[in-house]
Amino acid sequence: MLNRRTLITSSMAALAVAGTSCAAPSGAGGGDPASMLLADGYEPSSLNPLLGYARWGAAKFYDGLLAFDGNGRLRPALAAEQPRPSDDARTWTVRLRRGVKFHNGEPFGARDVVATYRAAVDPAYAATISSGLSMLDEVEAVDEHTVRFRLNIPYAAWPARMVMGILPESALAEAAPQENSPLNTQPVGTGPYRLAEWRRGERMVWRANRDYWGGAPRIAEITVVFATDDNTRAQRVQAGEFDGTVLPPLLAERVGGDAYRTVHHDTADYRAITLPADHPVTGDPAVRMALNLAANRSEMVDSLLGGHGEPAYTPIPPSMERFHEPEARLEFDQRRARELLEEGGWRSGSDGVRTRNGTRASFTVMYFADDTLRKKFAQAFASDAGKVGVRVELAGVDRTEAAERIGTDAIVLGGGTPLDPDPQTYPGLHSSMIGTGTYRNPAKYRNSRVDAALDAGRSTVDPAERARHYKEAQRAYVEDPGLVYLAFIQHSYVVRTGVWNGYQSVVEPHTHGTTWGPWWNVEDWTPKE
């Protein structure tokens, strides 16, 4: 039978998690290959796909129509085959897999897909993912096992929107805001695992779905313990308590050893500094270019990430190989940065801070106070900016305050998905996104060449033509940058060795933790003989 395991693993050689196990406390997965105990630094607020849970896939409780294969391509999941687009990419027809059941025993079919996508864009449901589906005009059931999506624009990236989890129609019968939905804590999907227990702030237990269409997972139970402090998780791993966890790269390297393997995954996850276009300092093109030249990206990657990342100049990472333009670079050159500021009329003052017509070259960069890595990037950027005469004030804020100030102050931005270059670039750079959401083009960047290239890239389904347009967008962007992209960060993990086969490296989105990481395909793992 052609199942999900066959589809995903056939294109990739499975790598064994090899080595020697170590003793673990009672209940830890290290002592029982049929169970696993993981630690995560992040606890989801909701398990509802309409509220953003696993929006880029790898949901253990749900399947999307498509699934990421781990290496930049999408494969059928609840779809029986690849979606068929019309010539203008405005209509997409999807044949559905038969014989699939939801966790509650209800059969999966076209009505469930229709109900899920309609709820995602219907204001009555107040779905937080609705802004990412603004191109959806209608979805209809052609028959019991076929759906058709009609879009209001030509949109070649629509398959990337088909990884979101599908819900049963019965769970969406009432058109009500999802913030109070039972699905937030009691997920009902078709995925390889069911939620068996969730103790808020403590742990979550996943239990294998024995009726899973892709074959029952061999790891019958997975417990995820929530521990927000990085050092605490590292210490408990060193004590042999967990089978794996996510850690900052340098800490992950220290924890890894004979009993645990350290792995680093490439990502589309960038860190960047926004430069608000209507600010008297950051709105000046000379300042924007100078700050890009002043940023020592390679030093940041080495010192902050231990080399586990790479410099970023645009939002498209090298891991998106066919769309990445390697010549779109902004070389580190602080001498040239100073020259640009002088040419732009910014004169050095007695305190080393430049001024122009009475305006000091000074602005504020916010970072989330609970995010140590963003703070470090902000500090490194401020140091480099100071070397060319631009003063950067730093502000650690919570997410509510950041949302209130993002229109006027800069912020350390993070995000990214490897599924398609459109969601990676369009929301952050296209001028039409200004004012459509807190983190949608927060710098208010406008560039007609970039807009035109991004519009062209999303409106054709030919891969080679799309690649040309996105490379043009990157070349146009580096000639007139609106942010300072600093780095694409690798995500780092430690995994117990010697117990399971099935680990496969994966290119990850901004989202990571125990649903991604080494365990993105854990439903396909098998006990080591």
Q: pLDDT at residue 11 above 80?
A: no
Q: pLDDT at residue 478 above 80?
A: yes
Confidence band (pLDDT; 50, 70, 90) for 322?
very high
pLDDT tens readout for residues 45-81: 999 999 999 999 989 999 999 999 887 789 999 999 9
Instruction: Pick the more confident residue, 14 or 421.
Output: 421
Q: What is the 3-state secondary structure (H, E, C) of 15-78?
A: EECCCCCCCCCCCCHHHCCCEEEEEECCCCCCCCHHHCCCCCCCCCCCCCCEEECCCCCEEECC
- Lowest mean pLDDT: which of 80-94, 292-306, 440-454, 507-521? 507-521
The pLDDT score that the predictor gives to residue 31 is 58
Q: Which of 430, 428, 413, 438 is nearest to 488 (CA)?
A: 413
pLDDT tens readout for residues 375-403: 999 999 999 999 999 999 999 999 999 99
**Residue range 11-25: mean pLDDT, rounded:** 34
The pLDDT score that the predictor gives to residue 7 is 39
Q: pLDDT at residue 35 above 90?
A: yes
Which domains does the chain show, CATH number per domain? 1-43+200-264+492-529 (3.40.190.10), 46-184 (3.90.76.10), 270-489 (3.10.105.10)
Q: pLDDT at residue 111 above 60?
A: yes
DSSP H stretches of helix in 174-267:
230-238, 249-255
508 and 491 Cβ atoms separated by less than 8 Å: yes
CA gap 497, 274 in Å, rounded: 41
Q: pLDDT at residue 350 above 50?
A: yes
The pLDDT score that the predictor gives to residue 32 is 79
